[in-house]
């Protein structure tokens, strides 16, 4: 995957309040770029799921929010990184209803369905990086 344009905003994710702040930031960014309310809500929800995963399973990390421009379409990219234990079986983790932490088991797979592009990279013992993107024609 290509990386986002420079000028990415970095949000630390170490508490529940950070997740709330991230949702607010994503909402503002998408609204400013002219995304519709449905796309806004989808991306905010996906961000919320991934941020919570970063917090809960990755023991905290950060989110990079960047803007993309591939004329005629523009987009937003969110990159979640942590230095946590990593994911042993990514296929299993992406299965609807599977959870290792008492949740509904729909967060990671839901984030994939809610975004236009989804990319998961994980190394056991080193951490996990999840990238999601949302596009719109300007």
Place of tokens 């596009």: 135
Cβ distance 96 to 105 under 8 Å? yes
Q: Which of residues 71-130 bind other proteins (CB under 8 A)?
A: 96, 103-104, 106-107, 109-110, 113-114
Pick 4 or 49: Cβ nearer other proteins:
49
* Residues linked to residue 55 through DSSP beta bridges, in sequence order: none
Kindly state the smallest distance separating residue 125's Cβ from other proteins, in Å.
26
Q: What does DSSP say about strands 73-82 and 117-123: parallel, antiparallel, or unpaired? A: unpaired
Q: How many other CB atoms are found less than 10 A from the CB of residue 109?
A: 17
Question: What single DSSP character describes residue 5?
Answer: P
Q: Which of residues 7-26 bind other proteins (CB under 8 A)?
A: 16, 20, 23
Q: Which residues bind other proteins (CB under 8 A)?
A: 16, 20, 23, 27, 37-38, 40-42, 44-45, 48-49, 52, 96, 103-104, 106-107, 109-110, 113-114
């Amino acid at each position: 995957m290509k990386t986002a344009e420079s000028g990415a905003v970095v949000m630390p994710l170490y508490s529940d309040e950070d997740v709330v702040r991230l949702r607010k930031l994503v909402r503002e960014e998408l609204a400013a770029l002219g995304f519709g309310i449905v796309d806004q809500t989808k991306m905010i929800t996906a961000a919320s799921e991934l941020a919570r995963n970063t917090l809960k399973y990755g023991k905290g990390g950060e989110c990079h929010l960047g803007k993309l421009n591939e004329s005629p379409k523009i987009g937003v990219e969110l990159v979640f990184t942590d230095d946590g234990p990593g994911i042993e079986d990514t296929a299993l983790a992406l299965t609807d209803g599977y959870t290792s932490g008492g949740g509904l088991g729909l967060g990671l797979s839901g984030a994939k369905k809610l975004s236009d592009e989804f990319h998961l990279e994980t190394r056991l013992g080193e951490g996990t990086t999840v990238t999601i993107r949302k596009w719109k024609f300007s």
